[in-house]
């Protein structure tokens, strides 16, 4: 059982650590120290729901309803394109850390953005529901231990990213550093949107 839990932890971390729209947003919120708890909670709880859905066998339903993934894909393309453009616009007028904090989104907007970046990303369904679900099935009786490991990985990652990013404050004390961050986030969002649009 412990082997299954460790396998779930390792697999979960492998899938979640890659830079993506969700991680970039959590990082930015952590740096400005605004609404970190709610954003981390939205991302982690969403992941837990998706992991448990995948392990319980919902993946087969998702595969059957492929039109749902198509709708989510195009909504995701639109949202990621908008967010990417906004990040690049911010990069044209780089901020200091204090200014970034002053211009941070409201709690409602931060939560809505976290929800959108999570649930409008079809890769979340492919990786978390289908892939993790199928790997968990191979664990047989240990699949729920595998799920526990994957859920633990998600909570650890988002908590570390959100609250640990404050240790990079000195790095982001200059407008130039914020320009680089916003350019990286903007290009990442647009690249993901393009990849989704091209299938």
What does the DSSP assignment read for 89-104?
HHHHS---HHHHHHTP
Per-residue confidence (pLDDT) for residue 65, from 0 to 100: 65
When the pLDDT of each residue in the chain is averaged and rounded to a whole number, the result is: 81
| Residue 57, phi-psi category: left (phi > 0), alpha (psi -120 to 50), beta (remainder) | left
Residue 35: pLDDT band by 50, 70, 90 thresholds?
A: very high
Q: What is the mean pLDDT of residues 168-196?
A: 80
Residue 2: pLDDT band by 50, 70, 90 thresholds?
A: low
Q: Nearest to residue 113, comparing CAs of 143, 60, 76, 158?
A: 76
For 123-138, letters b (16+ CB in 10 Å) and e give bbbebbbbbbbebbee
163 pLDDT higher than 60: yes
Q: Nearest to residue 84, comparing CAs of 198, 193, 199?
A: 193
Radius of gyration, CA atoms only, the chain = 17
Instruction: Say if residues 27 and 161 touch (Cβ distance below 8 Å).
Output: yes
Residue 48: pLDDT band by 50, 70, 90 thresholds?
A: very high
Per-residue confidence (pLDDT) for residue 156, from 0 to 100: 93
126 pLDDT higher than 90: no
Share of residues in the chain with pLDDT > 90 (%)? 20
Per-residue confidence (pLDDT) for residue 177, from 0 to 100: 78
CA distance 174 to 35: 22
pTM: 0.76
First to last CA, the chain: 37
Say which residue, 134 or 186, is predicted with more confidence: 186
């Amino acid at each position: 059982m412990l082997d299954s839990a460790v396998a779930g932890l390792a697999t979960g971390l492998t899938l979640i650590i890659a830079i993506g729209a969700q991680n970039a947003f959590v990082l930015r919120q952590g740096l400005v120290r605004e609404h970190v708890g709610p954003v981390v909670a939205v991302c982690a709880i969403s992941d837990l729901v998706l992991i448990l859905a995948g392990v319980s066998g919902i993946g087969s339903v998702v595969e059957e309803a492929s039109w749902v993934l198509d709708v989510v894909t195009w909504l995701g393309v639109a949202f990621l394109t908008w967010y990417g453009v906004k990040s690049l616009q911010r990069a044209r007028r780089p901020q200091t850390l204090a200014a970034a904090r002053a211009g941070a989104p409201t709690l409602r907007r931060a939560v809505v953005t976290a929800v959108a970046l999570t649930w409008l990303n079809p890769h979340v369904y492919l990786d978390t529901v289908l892939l993790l679900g199928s790997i968990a099935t191979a664990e047989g009786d240990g699949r729920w231990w595998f799920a526990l490991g994957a859920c633990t990985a998600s909570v650890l990652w988002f908590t570390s990213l959100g609250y640990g990013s404050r240790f990079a404050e000195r790095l982001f004390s200059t407008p130039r550093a914020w320009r680089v961050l916003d350019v990286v986030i903007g290009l990442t969002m647009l690249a993901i949107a393009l990849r989704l649009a091209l299938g």
